[in-house]
Structure 1
Amino acid sequence: MSEQRVAETGRPRHRRRKKALAVGVPLALTAAGTLAYGTVFGLGAQENASAATTAAPAWATATADGFASVNALGQNGTYGGRDGKTVTVKTLADLEKYATASEPYVIVVAATINMNPVGKEIKVASDKTIVGSGTSGHIVGGGFFLGQGVHNVIIRNLTIRDAYQGVWNDKDHDFDAIQMDGAHHVWIDHNDLRHMADGLIDVRKDSTYVTVSWNKLSDDNKAFGIGWTTNVVTDITIHHNWIRETEQRNPSTDNAAHAHLYNNFLEDVAGTTIKSSYGNYSRGKTKMVLENSYFQGVNNPVIKDSTATIVQKGNTFVGTTGRNESGGSAFDPKAYYSYTLDKTADVPSLLKSGAGPRSTIGTSTTTATTKAAAATTLTVAQDGSGQYRTVQAAVNAVPANNPSRVVISVKPGTYREVVKVPANKPHVTIQGAGASRKDTVIVYGNAAGMQKPDGSGTYGTPGSATVSVQSDDSQLRNLTVTNDFDEAKHQDIANQAVALLTQADKIVLDGVIVNGDQDTLELETAAKDKLGRVYIANSYITGNVDFIFGRATVVVDKSVITLKKRWNGTSAGYVTAPSTPANRKGILINRSAINGDVTAASFFLGRNWHPGGDTTVDPQTTVRNTTLSAAIKSTPWSDMGGFSWKDDRFAEYQNTGAGAGAASTNRPHLTAAQAADQEVADWLGDWTPSAS
């Protein structure tokens, strides 16, 4: 990028926030590594007026199996709110209104709902079904609480995530996804529960007649615990759950009268920082039956107290170590309910494809059919097992002016290619198909000063990008994009080397890693007078000089920004270089972490880029509610190209960490009133990023 600019005076002040835009996005700090993705705010509740006159879809009348189906305590099975109205909610206020109501409801969650404050647990009343609409129902930063006597509750098809507060074995924040204290007849089914501050599921204080089925539980210290009482009354069924990368309580079952566990997949992935302490644990006077479950890489896969019993049948253990115990007599689950076992060998593939939220649950038959007809998926695999061997070939196959979303599913591997999604191919999602964002890598090594192969000149900064997205409403998910240009070997040419370039509006980067050195992530618009909004979440961005830059309106939310040393081993650089047009929003770094293995006080948060000396631009970066490492300078903003940063828009708000500092003339902080006008909703305006 050019560093030429001349002085410019006059700049827009903080505009009044349009209150109709959004429900409050939680501002509480989540520490380094706390990641999230999806919709940021909702638009309200809408009752289904035709519910009484049209046939309800199967998911709205579904009933539980296992112990939750047993007739006991005055409750004949678990059917939730099927006898009440169906309502659709998109805000925290509406979700809480219907979940706590005394009458039955089927509550369809059709957006990402952020809990405010972080850690909030909605107190669910009896006779409720809370169900995600397809894969779009996300609860972020909190969960649900079912208190004494609450009964007949179904929680299905939701993603509940990201209340993590930066301490792995957290004793101070009891932020669970779902907690029960004395509840009965509860069915937890087809959810994705992850990255919470304490446990994912707590079944406590004599809660009973509970079934937990077809859920994904992952990325947490504790999966779920059962019991914590001297009374031996809890009856619980746990089947077809994929419990992955959780350290303990997988589950821990304390003083349960009857615990039936079958067809679960417990997986500890090799080479990660999360190490399982134990798998299934029968504690106290628990009687446990454990059948046809599959244990992969788990330490101490099955353990028991001397007073507890475990009867094992048909389980498989691969790469496990430590204790694997059984003993005593338990019970016959078929004396309480009927069930069918799947083959143990089929469990991993069955759960990888079937656990977690389903697109067919929580949506009307018409909607589901329409989406199925409209959606297109193209597969890419280097080994020829997909439709295409390169990502660009799949992009080329997307028809011009496609009216609906096309998902390009890229199987794990390293794809050394340049990928460009042109402007006439909107609604494209490029998504890694692996379990981790590290599994699918798109990499190339062009730089601004390199000559093009056709002899038409050098690439220039935008032309160096490994991946370029020029089409509106497009997305990158669950993959890594890298520019691996070797600066040390090529100091003779301009060494700006872009990994990812966006030049469009309504772009989502979700769960990605973007790797580079100088100019890693270029965020532009189709033209200077065009709006270009980008929402980045659950992601990692690495670089050293101006590595988040451009004129787009950008939110970097709940992500990790990693600072790198220069090619010669020195530490010096700038995180952002906005070139924001006047009267537009620039770069917002929100609820994230900025760190890296670099020298203390060696990096600026940003500098003001006026391309070609353009005096009409008004660069803006706001860094708020973010953890700053000691690498950040005490005077964190810098001039560029002869323009004073103080004439542009640079500010902080409620940052923490060794690199944070008090307000001064050289370190401006927003007031509370100004901060209210610089939230995620202010940046995104009338756009609600999609969770899929």
Structure 2
Amino acid sequence: MQRRTLIRLAATSGTALAASLATGGAARARERTRLVVAADGSGDVTTVQAAVDAVPPGTGTRFTIDIRPGVYAGQVIVPADKPNILLRGRGADPGRVVITDDRASGTPRPDGGTWGTSGSASVTVDAADFTATNLTFANSFDEAAHPEITARQAVALLSRADRLVFDNVRFLGNQDTLYLNSPAAAVPSRIYLHRCYVEGDVDFVFGRGTAVFDRCRIHSLTRGSTTNNGYVTAPSTSVTNPYGLLFAGCAFTSDAPPASVYLGRPWHPSQDPNAIGQTVIRDSVLGAHIGPAPWTDFGTWPWRDARFAEYHNRGPGALVTPDRPQLTDEQSEDYRPAAYLAGTDGWSPHC
């Protein structure tokens, strides 16, 4: 089959592309390790999901999906049997390629019920060794336009796999923007985020994943309050996992009033007593929106029982008070990016 015929078939269907690869033989399928997504039809497929659908299952080599500038609406799911995908935005900056959806946890499903928090995700990654670079993941659910929906968790990206890398990626949303999870409570999943931008308001970085935010910007949106404009993190790290969320060399910014944003609160899904969340913030700049008591309880679960700590932070919001546990110099050696990411296989991602 000529390549122009292959592209013509693929322009409307990732399934068609996958089938054409299969009929071309195993050798041809192995040769095809890159697809181009373009909404205007000038690439191989017109949607990101179609490109993911066309990736051969179980591939042991990198499969690159290049995405040309545009806004790509609709949910994207990367299943567990499609590891080693690179999702690469081809615009001049990450704002030129946007993958978005607009459902919240309380949005009604066509078949009845509602989507729930996990089902609200614009993008779900269940495949290991996934990488995304130079693009935006967003959830564009409009809270003001839907006062009838009170369950407003609206996830931009949900991850449930190991060894994931996000480089120069933006994550946009309000409540529950970035859900870093794992397949099971006692199973660690490692995520490395390098020079990324994350924005939201309530619990907008949450879950039980082991994640390193390396030189990222963490931006808290204002909700119009003078006292409480939300919570940056809501970790649910398993007590068996020594590492949860680490922010190293990051900038915490906001337009919210001074001392009106919390750094975090401990999330215990289904009231799980073994979800002893961990957030460590070190060598970072904290804006004035962070107050002198930046950790708070979550329902009946006290923050002092969680694993919250800071080290060598600076900026107007980086006060040292009795309500802000600090690592010692000796302790800080155990809370570096390499320690979080190494695991049992010595993983050391490079961007």
Shorter-normalised TM range: 0.7 to 0.9
Question: Is 2:43 the partner of 1:386?
Answer: yes
Equivalent residue number for residue 230 of structure 2: 573
> What amino acid sits opposite 2:49 in the alignment?
Q
Aligned residue pair count = 317
Deviation at 1:435, TM superposition (A): 1.4
Do the aligned residues in 1 keep the contact of 2:293 with 2:321 (CA within 8 Å)?
no
Do the aligned residues in 2 keep the contact of 1:574 with 1:605 (CA within 8 Å)?
yes
Equivalent residue number for residue 661 of structure 1: 319
Equivalent residue number for residue 135 of structure 2: 479
Equivalent residue number for residue 467 of structure 1: 123
| Matches of 2:52 and 2:240, distance apart in 1 | 35
Q: More helix per residue: 1 or 2? A: 2
| Matches of 2:74 and 2:107, distance apart in 1 | 16
Do the aligned residues in 2 keep the contact of 1:536 with 1:556 (CA within 8 Å)?
yes
> What amino acid sits opposite 1:623 in the alignment?
I
Which residue, 584, 591, 604 being the options, matches 2:249? 591
SS at match of 1:638: coil
Deviation at 1:567, TM superposition (A): 7.4
Question: Is 2:251 the partner of 1:617?
Answer: no
TM-score by length of 2: 0.87
1:548-580 per-residue CA deviation (whole Å, 9 max, x = no partner) reads 000000111101011102278985110000000
> What amino acid sits opposite 1:687 in the alignment?
W
Task: Output aligned runs, 1:400-415, within 5 Å.
Answer: 400-415=57-72
| Matches of 2:39 and 2:227, distance apart in 1 | 38
| Matches of 2:43 and 2:227, distance apart in 1 | 44
Do the aligned residues in 1 keep the contact of 2:227 with 2:260 (CA within 8 Å)?
no
Do the aligned residues in 2 keep the contact of 1:580 with 1:586 (CA within 8 Å)?
yes
Equivalent residue number for residue 347 of structure 2: 687
| Matches of 2:265 and 2:329, distance apart in 1 | 24
1:213-249 per-residue CA deviation (whole Å, 9 max, x = no partner) reads xxxxxxxxxxxxxxxxxxxxxxxxxxxxxxxxxxxxx
Equivalent residue number for residue 171 of structure 1: none
Do the aligned residues in 1 keep the contact of 2:105 with 2:117 (CA within 8 Å)?
yes
Equivalent residue number for residue 500 of structure 1: 157
Q: Which structure has more RCO (C-alpha within 8 Å, separation ≥ 6)?
A: 1
Question: Is 2:301 the partner of 1:647?
Answer: no
| Matches of 1:572 and 1:602, distance apart in 2 | 5
Equivalent residue number for residue 447 of structure 1: 104
Task: Output aligned runs, 1:316-395, within 5 Å.
Answer: 376-395=33-52
Percent identical: 46
Deviation at 1:489, TM superposition (A): 2.3
Where does structure 1 lack aligned partners over 5 or more consecutive residues? 1-372
| Matches of 1:588 and 1:661, distance apart in 2 | 19
Deviation at 1:401, TM superposition (A): 1.2
Equivalent residue number for residue 291 of structure 2: 633
Equivalent residue number for residue 210 of structure 1: none
| Matches of 1:547 and 1:554, distance apart in 2 | 14
Task: Output aligned runs, 1:94-173, within 5 Å.
Answer: none
Deviation at 1:492, TM superposition (A): 2.8
In the superposition, relative to structure 1, how do residues 635 and 568 fare at CA in structure 2: closer, same or farther (>3 Å)? closer
1:454-492 per-residue CA deviation (whole Å, 9 max, x = no partner) reads 33x211001101111110000111001111101112233
Do the aligned residues in 2 keep the contact of 1:663 with 1:669 (CA within 8 Å)?
no
Deviation at 1:405, TM superposition (A): 1.1
> What amino acid sits opposite 1:607 in the alignment?
R
Q: More strand per residue: 1 or 2? A: 1
| Matches of 1:671 and 1:375, distance apart in 2 | 51
| Matches of 2:31 and 2:304, distance apart in 1 | 50
| Matches of 2:31 and 2:145, distance apart in 1 | 48
In the superposition, relative to structure 1, how do residues 645 and 568 fare at CA in structure 2: closer, same or farther (>3 Å)? closer
Which residue, 210, 221, 244 being the options, matches 1:564? 221
Deviation at 1:641, TM superposition (A): 2.2
| Alignment RMSD | 1.5
1:312-351 per-residue CA deviation (whole Å, 9 max, x = no partner) reads xxxxxxxxxxxxxxxxxxxxxxxxxxxxxxxxxxxxxxxx
| Matches of 2:140 and 2:289, distance apart in 1 | 24
Do the aligned residues in 1 keep the contact of 2:278 with 2:306 (CA within 8 Å)?
yes
> What amino acid sits opposite 1:561 in the alignment?
I
| Matches of 1:635 and 1:661, distance apart in 2 | 9
Do the aligned residues in 2 keep the contact of 1:374 with 1:404 (CA within 8 Å)?
no
Equivalent residue number for residue 116 of structure 1: none
Where does structure 2 lack aligned partners over 5 or more consecutive residues? 1-29
Equivalent residue number for residue 509 of structure 1: 166
Task: Output aligned runs, 1:22-101, within 5 Å.
Answer: none
| Matches of 1:563 and 1:581, distance apart in 2 | 26
In the superposition, relative to structure 1, how do residues 645 and 522 fare at CA in structure 2: closer, same or farther (>3 Å)? same
| Matches of 1:562 and 1:649, distance apart in 2 | 22
